[in-house]
Amino acid sequence: MQVVYRLLKLTSKVDYSRFFSDDVPGFMRSPVREIFRKVDLASIYSFAGGYPDASTFPLQEMEGLTRKVVEKYGAKALQYGGTQGVNELREAISKWYAPWLYAGCGKAVGADGDAPKSDPATVRIPLENIQITTSSQQGIDVCARIFLNPGDVVLTTNPAYLGAIQSFKAYRAEVRNLVAAMADSADGGDTLRKEPSRRAKFIYIVPDFCNPSGETLSLEERLSLVEFARRKDLLIIEDCPYRALRYSGSNIPTIYSLAPERTLHLGSFSKIFAPGFRLGWIIGAPALLEQIFICKQALDLCPPVFDQYLAAEYLGSGTLDENLSRSISLYREKRDYMLALLHRYMPEEVSWTEPDGGLFLWVTLPPHVDTVAMYDSALAAGVAYVAGTFFSLDGGFRNAMRLNFSFLARDRMEEGVKLLSRVISEALIPQKTVEK
Ligand SMILES: Cc1ncc(COP(=O)(O)O)c(C=O)c1O
């Protein structure tokens, strides 16, 4: 007790603020992570986080897989590994992911909601194009780190994935609206040329079942994005953690397959295996991956080796594919149920997106409803969401919210939606009174 007291007394005497770098004031907190810090997930109906359904985790297989890794790789599995990732996993991804990477563009065929198939003997991703990451969040951050100087511009959708905005801001980049920049360019404008100190370096995009909007870019939208990137000489960071989670519609070619010379394609095991493993990959031109390789030496030396061998064995045995098709059926059912519940319980002034895959949908309320202000009432009622403004580039979307439909158990979803619609209905009342 005395030691703790002495420590408290000493730390209160130091002004730590002068030690922090100039980057620190730009760091943003994630409201999603803050919610989880304060609230016990089990005690509320949470539509907030991007958590997979825990029943999709291959718990049963873990014992056998772990034993296999220990027997097959021995001490190697506990040793440091290469910064680029272990070859066994890169080879497994080269085979397994090629159909997903090329689905929809003639090299692989995918029926509605089915895993795309291709001949693994002919379609492979060359190993020199694959870098393993300690999850796709690191993939985003490492791209930001190698490309961005303070003041550089990143173009993205509005709303955009919060973790990416956090990363770009941490490097003091300016995050601007991609659609506005493309429209400006189509009208003959060129805002960036008028501001020579501002250099646009890359487009960041989640083309499949975007977090947070749930929307998917059409082929035409992908083609015009690629045309814009080529004309403006921009790189494209294509973040695809949800690509394999399609529940309806057909696969659309990845941006990487349309513009491999300027795209870094990010994949992740988080939503199709288990986020706790923290494993992902980047596919791109070797000259770009080389800088990422050097940067990662200072970040983490190498991705987690034991986890990589587990993932390689899991992929190689075909168990991931079996598990994935079960996850897809489960999530398809949950998405359909969530949409049915929204139709049944939400007031008529409320609208939402209907995603073909992924884990989220985006809800829009009448303009006068402030989902940040409404949040405390929602938590008090026992239900959580993420307010839309946290994904906004310009403080907008105060009347929107992101809802996750993967995490909550199916038998708790109805009560959660009922509670949320009650909170929303109460927030709508003042406007109704004014209108009368
Ligand atoms: C679009 C997007 N990118 C990246 C991530 C980070 O995922 P990972 O667990 O692979 O770091 C997420 C997580 O939800 C996401 O939605």
pLDDT tens-place string over residues 348-394: 999 999 999 999 999 999 999 999 999 999 999 999 999 999 999 99
HSE, CB side, 13 Å, CA atoms: give it for residue 150.
5
Main-chain dihedrals φ then ψ at residue 95, nearest 5 degrees? -80, -50
Token pair of 86 as six digits: 């272990």
Establish whether residue 207 lines the binding site of ligand 1, counting it when its CB lies within 6 angstroms of any ligand atom: no
CATH number of 79-320: 3.40.640.10
What local confidence, expressed as pLDDT, does residue 242 receive?
97
Give the residue ranges of DSSP H helices in 12-54.
31-38
HSE, CB side, 13 Å, CA atoms: give it for residue 14.
8
Establish whether residue 206 lines the binding site of ligand 1, counting it when its CB lies within 6 angstroms of any ligand atom: yes
CATH number of 2-55+322-428: 3.90.1150.10
Choosing from 132, 157, 211 the residue with most ligand 1 atoms within 8 A of its CB, the one to mutate for a pocket test is 211
Establish whether residue 156 lines the binding site of ligand 1, counting it when its CB lies within 6 angstroms of any ligand atom: no
Q: Which atom of ligand 1 is nearest to the CA of 138?
A: 11
Longest dimension (CA), the chain: 74
Instruction: Kindly give the distance from the C-alpha atom of residue 383 to the centroid of ligand 1, in angstroms, as a whole number.
Output: 23
SS (H, E, C) 394-428: CCCCCCEEEEECCCCCHHHHHHHHHHHHHHHHHHH
Cβ proximity of 77 and 311 under 8 Å: no
Instruction: Kindly give the distance from the C-alpha atom of residue 73 to the centroid of ligand 1, in angstroms, as a whole number.
Output: 29
Give the residue ranges of DSSP H helices in 21-58.
31-38
Give the residue ranges of DSSP H helices in 75-152.
87-96, 98-102, 136-147
Whole-Å CA distances, 325 to 49, 226, 253, 337, 436: 23, 31, 21, 18, 51
Strands 153-156 and 200-205 come out as parallel
Residue pointed to by tokens 């609206």:
177
- In the chain, which segments carry CATH 3.40.640.10? 79-320
What local confidence, expressed as pLDDT, does residue 10 receive?
72
E strand or H helix at 243: none
What local confidence, expressed as pLDDT, does residue 184 receive?
86
What local confidence, expressed as pLDDT, does residue 41 receive?
73
**In the chain, which residues have pLDDT < 50?**
108-113, 120-121, 436
Q: Which atom of ligand 1 is nearest to the CA of 269?
A: 10
Looking at 128-249, which runs of residues are DSSP E strands? 130-133, 153-156, 174-177, 200-205, 235-239
Q: Count the Cβ atoms, other than its own, within 10 Å of residue 36.
A: 16
Whole-Å CA distances, 255 to 17, 104, 143, 381: 43, 11, 17, 42
- In the chain, which segments carry CATH 3.90.1150.10? 2-55+322-428
